[in-house]
Amino acid sequence: MTKEKQMFCFQCEQTAMGTGCTGCAGVCGKSAVEAGLQDVLTGALVGLARTCQTAAPTAKTYRTILEGMFTTITNVNFNTTTTQAMIDKVHAEAAALSSTPAADYDMNQMWNADEDIRSLKSLILFGMRGMAAYAYHALMLGKSSEEVDAFFVKGLSAIGEDWGMDELLPIVMETGKVNLTCMALLDEANTSTYGTPVPTTVPLTVEKGPFIVVTGHDLKDLELLLKQTEGKGINIYTHGEMLPAHAYPELKKYKHLKGNFGTAWQNQQKEFDGVPGAFLFTTNCLMPPRKSYIDRVFTTEVVSFDGVTHIGEDTAFTPVIEKALGLGGYAADRQVAGLDG
Ligand code: SF4
């Protein structure tokens, strides 16, 4: 990041001009301050990984790495307060492992490196960030993998090394290989918990009465919400990436899991406007909520937005439930936009 640019981020397909978000905010709405803090967080995670080279990481260490990496994925965290808290958590974990933890890495070294080195390290970093979300969801269902955990330490450490093409290219290839392992891990976690998905017709009608729309990928959060809303007269609808949940036998058995609301995640600011229901974001698909509906948006896990109510680790969804009951839903059944718009 050069002095005249306040931020630099090119980690997703939304990136400005197809080259990178610079200036005071990204296309996704991430501010330059938040982008800078996410760089600091990544540098702290590199430091934690380097600390693991000389001190044995624990299950808590790996979870901290997953949470930290997940925090930096696109459309997850826009909140400087919670990002700073995550940085502090990473530092605390490094200090718990060693009285002489490794120093944080300055991400500007990577952004300002030779373009080949920057590209190789970016492939490793962005590949691991996506993998962190999968590994996190698997962990929430009690599944983890020594191979995947170990690779986070290896890959993050590599980002901090002054290495060339010969050392970095094999790690890029390994990133792809371990990503497949991680996807298989999540598949196993999902199917062993909720059964093998079956072909399922998903209604697009929102029935009258109170309702909650759940978006993101975290099936565990959806299950907990279904249990907590059972018998309360509230219907549950998936949105965006949560759509596949309908196909899992142990989720579709809930009669109040009614259907899918709206279209793709990037249409949420238009489709959530003025809707008399509550919205729960479990993972990466949050766009800056508009004033017209921010009061009915809730986040959980590592998702966070300043001014939005966050459901903590106890996953007690009472505020979401009360909001849905208070709003009351539609007075009559309503057909919402289908998946083809
Ligand atoms: S994550 Fe946001 S800031 Fe980064 S490239 Fe994507 S749109 Fe731009």
Rounded to the nearest whole angstrom, what is the distance from the C-alpha of residue 29 to the centroid of ligand 1?
8
Measured in whole angstroms, the distance separating CA 182 from the mean position of its chain's CA atoms is 15
Task: Work out which ligand 1 atom sits closest to the CA atom of 13.
Answer: 6
- Nearest 5°: phi and psi at 132? -60, -35
For position 4, what pLDDT does the model report? 46
Q: Give nearest CA residue, ligand 1 atom 4.
A: 9
DSSP 77: B
Q: Ligand 1, from 12, 13, 17, 24: best to mutate by most atoms within 8 Å of Cβ? A: 12
Task: Tell how far the Cα of 291 is from the centroid of ligand 1, in angstroms.
Answer: 22
Closest ligand 1 atom number to CA of residue 9:
4
**What is the whole-number distance in angstroms between the Cα of residue 13 and the centre of ligand 1?**
8
**Rounded distance from Cα 26 to ligand 1 centre (Å):** 5
Residue from 1, 6, 28, 266 to probe ligand 1 pocket by mutation (most atoms less than 8 Å from CB): 28
Cβ-based burial of 307 (10 A; exposed 0-12, middle 13-18, buried ≥19): exposed
β-strand partners of 309 = 298
**How much is the pLDDT for 37?**
97
Domains of the chain: 16-193 (1.20.1270.20), 205-335 (3.40.50.2030)
Ligand 1 center from residue 279 Cα (angstroms)? 23
Among protein residues, the one whose CA lies closest to atom 1 of ligand 1: 74
Of ligand 1's atoms, which has the minimum distance to the CA of residue 21?
8
What's the CA-to-centroid distance between 297 and ligand 1, angstroms? 22
Report the atom number in ligand 1 closest to the C-alpha of 35: 3
What does the pLDDT read at residue 5? Answer: 53
Ligand 1 mean position to 71 CA, how many Å? 13
Report residue 129 as tokens: 């960030």
pLDDT of residue 336: 72
Q: How far away, in angstroms, is 339 Cα from ligand 1 center?
A: 25
Q: What is the pLDDT along the chain (341 residues), one digit of tens a residue?
A: 444 458 999 999 999 999 999 999 999 999 999 999 999 999 999 999 999 999 999 999 999 999 999 999 999 999 999 999 999 999 999 999 999 999 999 999 999 999 999 999 999 999 999 999 999 999 999 999 999 999 999 999 999 999 999 999 999 999 999 999 999 999 999 999 999 999 999 999 999 999 999 999 999 999 999 999 999 999 999 999 999 999 999 999 999 999 999 988 889 999 999 999 999 999 888 999 999 999 999 999 999 999 999 999 888 999 999 999 999 999 999 987 654 44
Q: CA angle 223-281-134, nearest 5°?
A: 70
pLDDT at 340: 46
Pocket of ligand 1 from Cβ distances under 6 Å: 9-12, 14-15, 21, 26-28, 30, 74
> Whose CA is closest to 211, among 123, 286, 277?
277
* Alpha-carbon separation of residue 88 from 30, 98, 272 (angstroms): 20, 15, 34
> How is the beta sheet containing 309-311 ordered, strand by strand?
257-260, 235-239, 211-215, 278-281, 297-300, 309-311
In whole angstroms, give the CA distance from residue 205 to residue 49.
Answer: 48
Question: What does the block give as tokens for 24?
Answer: 């005071």
Atom 2 of ligand 1, nearest CA residue: 28
Residue-level pLDDT at 337? 62
